[in-house]
Amino acid sequence: MNANATRSINSQINRLKTLPALPEASVKILEAINDPDISIEKLVDVLSLSPALMARLLGLANSAYFSPQRTIDNLHTAIVQVLGLNLVKSLAMGIVFNVQLDPGKCKNFDTQSFWQLSLMTAVIAQKLSAASPSSEITSATFYTGGLLLHIGILVVAFLFPDELDRILRQQPKNYAELDREINQTLGLSHYEIGYMLLNRWQLPDVYQNLLHSFNQKNLSAEDVSLIYLLQASQAMSGLVLDGDDVDAGLECIASHARLPLELTVKIFYQMIENKNDIQSLAIALGN
């Protein structure tokens, strides 16, 4: 890590009041989301502190992705009948990040494409983890890890809109492959920048460690299963969204995730079928 770049990014983060001083409601929401023992009733109470967040979650529950048989008009019903507790926690976290890190000053930043990549990675990670008998990490952790994997790009869009705008003009919309350009421009990868944010906002260590270690070669035993599977999920997301050499890519993904090729191919084509639904969810999440 470039020490001068680290100090520069940290200085930017420290100067921006929005990052170190979250609104009280957002602090309580993040605390509730990260409480593994919280009840649905208590979570609903806390999420209700933000009417905008509650409205967004209800919109998601009624979206084409979930295709509810009737209109869902309250958050408790949305959690119990449509979204589920773990998914609500993850989506609420994504919405909080999206609200606090408004990328509007970066003209070429496509919020829909960003959340489509993040959601695709999250859903694939959840599916791959469910198929992996060796992992002791919950599928909800894999989902949230996938959702937060690219959060550093959102930080860059917020903190350095002009720099990211120049990158996006040269390499438009392929957010899965921006890390090298961001590293060359800012001296840090977007994973490292994302780690700084998660650390400052005191999110659980598992997600901080994920971003801090994502591109390191020497991983601890406990990091390997999470990072390898999320690396495979990221690669499959790229294939689903705009991949060319699918066969070779899926063989590499299956090997990296330590899963049978047949099962990996099956999950890939499930994601192809769900691509439009995830795009609809990304639109709702990014608005």
Sign of the CA dihedral with 39 first, then 124, 53, and 156 last? positive
pLDDT tens per residue across span 125-135: 999 988 776 66
The encoded tokens of residue 210 equal 């994920």
∠ at Cα 127 (124, 132), nearest 5°? 120
CB 60 within 8 A of CB 66: yes
Instruction: Tell me where in the chain the CATH 1.10.3210.10 domain(s) lie.
Output: 102-286
102-286 classified as CATH 1.10.3210.10 = yes
Q: Output the pLDDT for position 40.
A: 92
Q: What is the mean pLDDT of residues 28-40?
A: 88
Sign of the CA dihedral with 12 first, then 22, 281, and 103 last? negative
Alpha carbons 122 and 141: distance in angstroms, whole number: 9
pLDDT tens per residue across span 88-117: 888 888 888 888 888 999 999 999 899 999
pLDDT at 23 over 90: no
The encoded tokens of residue 100 equal 């606090």
pLDDT tens per residue across span 269-278: 999 998 888 8
Phi and psi of 5, rounded to 5°? -65, -40
The predicted model scores a pTM of: 0.85
Alpha carbons 58 and 62: distance in angstroms, whole number: 6
